[in-house]
């Protein structure tokens, strides 16, 4: 890992932790009490995702926070101080979890507003505490979400509910977010860390190659027609049939043992 993003190097409002024993790399928002995300932090976190994605010790990336809240959103004055070039990169930086080849889990508690919500929407899994609240409050500032929030949300819950959230700057509780399909799993506040650990432990049991393939396929076919999506799925399935992981998985199934996947 390069010096700029070494786990013990201080970053702007976050830190990186690697738990090699559990093949887990965490990006930890650490600017309590509200974990406001600054402009420089967005690009630093993008590079952190890319670095963890390349780290062979890490199988799963987790985005979590210190304190009661995931993030209340971005540093408002930063938008006025940013150059047009910086602003043009907002959505690209926050989309880093979606571009990562490895599974990414967002661990949401308390306020998950603005760019905090947008960052979570770019992740593959969203675990939420029962007291978590989601919002895209930009309308109150005379703006709209600028880091992919309205676009990603519309793909997940449809235009009617997205308008309800975006155009009214409406907060929605974790339970409602779960009912609408925004949240992967909702758990009591004091069980959020355990639920995260369980999901990480589950994900690392699968073939890294099959997981990378599944994530890319699902992302790439989100806007495709059914016929094209099925065609692309078939090509991916065919390629995986020749992988060592597939042969190991079949052998382990017949031998009634846990597979030993190597990602090839």
**138: annotated active-site residue:** yes
**85: annotated active-site residue:** no
User: How far from 72 is each of 17, 75, 118, CA to CA, in Å?
Assistant: 22, 9, 11
Those residues whose C-beta lies under 8 Å from the C-beta of residue 81, and which sit 6 or more positions away, are 39
Half-sphere exposure of 62 (CA within 13 A, CB side): 25
Catalytic residue, chosen from 81, 138, 233, 255, is 138
Catalytic residue, chosen from 17, 20, 118, 248, is 118
Residues marked as catalytic: 118, 138
């Amino acid at each position: 890992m390069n010096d700029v993003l070494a786990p013990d190097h201080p970053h702007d409002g976050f830190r990186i932790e690697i738990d090699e024993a559990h093949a887990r790399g965490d990006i930890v928002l650490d600017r309590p009490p509200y974990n406001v995300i600054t402009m420089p932090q967005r690009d630093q976190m993008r590079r952190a995702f890319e670095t963890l994605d390349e780290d062979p010790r890490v199988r799963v990336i987790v985005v979590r926070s210190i304190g009661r809240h995931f993030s209340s959103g971005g540093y408002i004055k930063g938008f006025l101080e940013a150059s047009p070039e910086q602003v043009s990169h907002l959505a690209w930086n926050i989309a880093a979890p979606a571009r990562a080849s490895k599974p990414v889990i967002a661990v949401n508690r308390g306020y998950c507003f603005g760019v905090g919500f947008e960052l979570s929407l770019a992740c593959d899994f969203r675990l939420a505490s029962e007291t978590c609240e989601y919002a895209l409050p930009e309308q109150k500032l005379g703006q709209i979400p600028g880091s992919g929030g309205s676009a990603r949300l519309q793909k997940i819950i449809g235009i009617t509910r997205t308008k309800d959230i975006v155009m009214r700057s409406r907060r929605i509780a974790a339970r409602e977010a779960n009912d609408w399909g925004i949240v992967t799993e909702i758990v009591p506040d004091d069980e959020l860390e355990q639920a995260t650990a369980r999901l990480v432990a589950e994900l690392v049991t699968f073939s890294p190659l099959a997981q990378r393939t599944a994530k890319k396929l699902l992302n790439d076919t989100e806007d495709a027609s059914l016929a094209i999506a099925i065609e692309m799925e078939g090509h991916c399935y065919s390629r995986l049939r020749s992988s060592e992981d597939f042969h190991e998985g079949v052998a382990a199934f017949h031998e009634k043992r846990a597979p030993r996947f190597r990602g090839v």
